[in-house]
Amino acid sequence: QVQLVESGGGLVQPGGSLRLACTASEFSLNDYAIGWFRQAPGREREGVSCISSEVGSTYYADSVKDRSTISRDNAKNTVYLQINSLQHEDTAVYYCAAVRDSHPFCMSYQYDYWGQGTQVTVSS
């Protein structure tokens, strides 16, 4: 019955920003580590950013570090991923995922529950 829903994707010009949101029904995201992953056509799914369930330790892929922020809003039961300075290479379907492990690595095989994804397209 675990259901994750992503939102906030869309068409953005290079240099623009997006804030993606991940929400859950029927359970609290506070109890889960949350990961953001993306998959572009012809490429493997890769970890973008992950946040632990204990003290909020975070991970960012080299490709997005210094321009991204992952955060929790406990009151809204939502995890956000803000990405600034978007580039063509950021175009992908972005997925959020959850696992009860307190501090996993940001690898897709570690996550048990997945949303359906939200499309991010960076284009002029």
Q: Three-state SS string across the chain, please? A: CCEEEEECCEEECCCCCEEEEEEEECCCHHHCEEEEEEECCCCCCEEEEEECCCCCCEEECCCCCCCEEEEEEHHHCEEEEEECCCCHHHCEEEEEEEECCCCCCCCHHHCCEECCCEEEEECC
- Say how far apart CA 85 and CA 88 lie, in whole Å: 10
How much is the pLDDT for 61?
A: 97
Please say if the pLDDT value at position 70 is more than 90. Answer: yes
How much is the pLDDT for 56?
A: 78
- Name the pLDDT band for 1 (thresholds 50, 70, 90): low
Please say if the pLDDT value at position 82 is more than 70. Answer: yes
Give the mean pLDDT of 80-109. 93
How much is the pLDDT for 6?
A: 96
Please say if the pLDDT value at position 102 is more than 90. Answer: no
Give the mean pLDDT of 69-80. 94
- Biggest CA-to-CA distance, the chain: 40
- Mean residue pLDDT across the chain: 93
pLDDT tens for each residue of 5-54: 999 999 999 999 999 999 988 888 888 999 999 999 999 999 999 999 87
